[in-house]
Amino acid sequence: MINREIIRTKIVQLTYAYYQNGNKNIDSAEKELFFSLSKAYDLYNYLLALIVAVTKEARRRNEVLTARAQREGTEAPSQKFALNRFALQLEENKELNEFVSTLKHTWNDDQEFVAKLYELIEGSDIYQEYMASTVDNYDADRELWRKIYRTLIQNNPDLDVVLEEVSLYWNDDKEIVDTFVLKTIKRFDEQNGAKQELLPEWDSDEEKDFARKLFRAAILNADEYQRYMSEASRNWDFSRLAYMDVVIMQIAIAEMLTFPNIPISVTINEFVDLAKLYSTHKSGGYINGMLDAIARHLIDTGKLVKFIDPKPEKPAKVPKAPKVMKAVKVKPSGRKRIIRNKEE
C-alpha cells in the first residue's frame, strides 16, 4: 500500500525535521521515517474500522427502535443498512480485527463522532435511495459504502480533527490513504468471507529500499547537491529561498542520481507538486526551472546518464527565486500546519 507518493512526502517532512530539530543521527532519523510510514498503514486500517463502527452504531439504534416498536405494536424499522453485507464482512475480517486488537485508541473512544457521522449518512440522499431500492444484494451493499466514503468521509473536516487528535503522523496522509480505502472497498468479494485480503503494508522490498536509499542519499550528499543548485544559478542566494525549497530540490536531485530508471520528468513533477503543498505559492515554478537546469547540467557533465527531453531551441531560463525567508507547510485543504517529528 505504501507507494512512492507517500514515501516522497514523508522523506520531505522528515528531512526538513532532521535539519530543523538539530538531530544529526541519520540512523535514528531513518527509524523515524519508517515509523512514520507505518503510521500511514495504520490510518488505512483505522478508516476501514470506521465503516464497522458506523454499522455497529446503526445496529444499536435499530435494536432500540425495534424494542420500542414491539412495545407499542408498531412496525419495526428496516435492518437493511444495519445488516449491510459488505460492512458485516468487513467487521469479520481477520486482518482488520488483528489490527484493531492492537489499538490503544479505538472508535469507541470517539463514539460522539461515530454517532454524528451515522446521522449524516442517514440524512443523505445516498442512504434514502439505498433504503428505498428494491435491489438487495452484496454488490449494492458494497457500492453504497463506496458512495458514502467518497461523498461523506473522504472530505470531512470533523473527521480530520478527530484523526489529528489520534496521531499527528496522520496530518497529511489521509488524502492519499483515502484512495487505498476506496480501492479496498471495490476489490472486496463476498466469496472470500472473513479471509478477504486487505492491501499489504508494503508491496515489495523494492519500495523499502527506495525509501531508505533516497532518504540517506539526500542527507549524506547534501553539500554536493547544494553545490549543483548553486552551479545552476549564477545569482544563487540561500537567504532568498524558503528552506523547504532547498530541502525539496536536494531530495529531487538525490532521486535523479540514485534511481536512473525513474524518468526525470516524473521526478520533477512529483517534487514540484510537493513544493506547491509545503512551500510558498511561487516555489513550484521556481523549483521546476531549477531542477530542469540541474538535470541538464548533470547530463552534460556526465554525472547523470539518463534520458531527458530534447533541449528546446532556446534554453529555458531559471525563474527568479521567490523573495521569502521561510516556508510554511500547507495541507491540501489550505490550512497551515506545522511539521512535527514526534507523535503525541
* 100 vs 93: CA distance, rounded Å: 11
pLDDT at 133: 97
Q: Which residues contact 139 (CB under 8 A, 6 or more apart)?
A: none
Residue 328 has pLDDT above 50, yes or no: no
* 138/191 Cα distance (integer angstroms): 10
| Stretch (H or E) spanning 33 | helix 26-72
Numbers of helices and strands, H then E, in the chain: 14, 2
3-state class (DSSP) for residue 258? helix
For 249-287, the pLDDT digits (tens) are 999 999 999 999 999 999 999 999 999 999 988 889 989
How confident is the model at residue 313, as a pLDDT? 40
Phi and psi angles of residue 236, each rounded to the nearest 5 degrees, phi first: -60, 130
Whole-model pTM?
0.85
- Distance (Å) of CA 333 to CA 12, 156, 194, 278, 328: 19, 11, 36, 12, 14
Provide CB contacts within 8 A for 198, sequence distance 6+. Answer: 44, 45, 48, 93, 95, 96, 184
Residue 10 · residue 37 · CB < 8 Å: yes
What is the spatial distance between Cα 23 and Cα 20, in angstroms, rounded to a whole number? 8
The neighbour count for residue 194, using CB atoms within 10 Å, is 13
Cell of 200: 499489504
3-state secondary structure of 337: strand
Cα distances (Å, whole numbers) of residue 318 to 4, 315, 327: 27, 9, 20
Residue that is written with C-alpha cell 534554453 in the block: 315
The candidate with the shortest Cα–Cα distance to 248, out of 275, 208, 277, 220, is 275
pLDDT recorded at residue 280:
85
CB-facing half-sphere around the CA of 335: CA atoms within 13 A: 9
Quote the pLDDT of residue 316.
45
Instruction: Give me the residue label for grid cell 472497498.
Output: 185
pLDDT tens digits, residue range 102-155?
999 999 999 999 999 999 999 999 999 999 999 999 999 999 999 999 999 999
Q: Tell me the domains of the chain and their CATH numbers.
A: 4-195 (no CATH), 221-337 (1.10.940.10)
Q: Residue 342: its pLDDT value, please?
A: 38
Chain segment 198-241, per-residue pLDDT in tens: 999 998 999 999 999 999 999 999 999 998 988 887 665 655 77
- CA–CA separation, 7 vs 331, rounded Å? 16
Nearest residue to 146 (alpha-carbon basis) of 87, 201, 100, 79: 87
Confidence of residue 308 (pLDDT cuts 50, 70, 90): low
Pick from 103-107, 174-178, 326-330: least confident: 326-330
| Interval 40-75: pLDDT, tens | 999 999 999 999 999 999 999 999 999 999 999 999
- Determine the Cα–Cα distance for residues 83 and 191; give it in Å rounded to an integer: 17
Mean pLDDT across the chain:
89
Confidence of residue 85 (pLDDT cuts 50, 70, 90): very high
pLDDT of 343 strictly over 80? no
